[in-house]
Amino acid sequence: MINKPILLLLSLIFFWGVANAEEIPGPQARPQGDLDLIIVASESDAYIREWLNTPPEQGVTIKRTRVAKPDQLLVTAFLVTGLTAGDDGRYRYSIDTYILGPDGDPIWGQRNYAGGAGVLPARPMVLMADPALDLILEQSDPEGIYTVVGQVTDLASGSKADSSYEIQFTK
């Protein structure tokens, strides 16, 4: 039998984890030309595996992490919708991304970090850029809000869309 202090501790740990992860359905697909970028982060890549194995019409629920602790893995994905097709019927897009530290200064960034290409389906859909971004903040990093910033460029139309995602880092 589990004694009461241990049961209370386990309950607090469980509810702390639930409180720091928002369980939100995935974004809605937009029509061609209505470009949008959505950045999400989770404690696991399970949502990516689910995304790859779930028909688009069913959707995927993503447990979004908003608070991180030292050495905790955050798997960050870039979701894109509203792409247009080129003359060949294919979409192509690229994502530039950078991370702002708590002081608002960039601490990392890369142009053309992620992207994708393929035949544009007739129905609007949300695509996940490849690769995802693994982020781990360390004990030596300052506490505060870290912001993942991204910009998607639709290479067929030249249009762009921006997005950001904030993560509160506490020790």
86: domain CATH number is 2.60.40.3880
Examine residue 5 and state whether it is found in any structural domain, yes or no.
no
Helix (H, G, I), strand (E, B) or coil at 147: strand
Give the closest residue to 168 by CA, choosing from 76, 101, 97: 101
Better-predicted residue by pLDDT, 60 or 164: 164
Instruction: Tell me whether residue 140 is in a domain.
Output: yes
Does the pLDDT at position 98 exceed 70? yes
User: Is 28 within the bounds of a domain?
Assistant: yes
Q: Long-range contacts for 138-142 (Cβ within 8 Å, ≥24 apart)?
A: 138/70, 138/71, 139/70, 139/71, 139/171, 141/70, 141/101, 141/169, 142/101, 142/102, 142/103, 142/169
Domain contains 15: no
Instruction: Give the residue from 1, 151, 138, 7 showing the smallest Cα distance to 78.
Output: 151
Question: Residue 57 has what pLDDT?
Answer: 64
Cα(34)–Cα(159) distance, integer angstroms:
9
Residue 124 included in any domain: yes
Considering the entire predicted model, what is its pTM? 0.83
User: Number of structural domains, the chain?
Assistant: 1
Domain that holds residue 126: 22-169
Instruction: Specify the pLDDT at position 12.
Output: 32
Model pLDDT, residue 141? 98
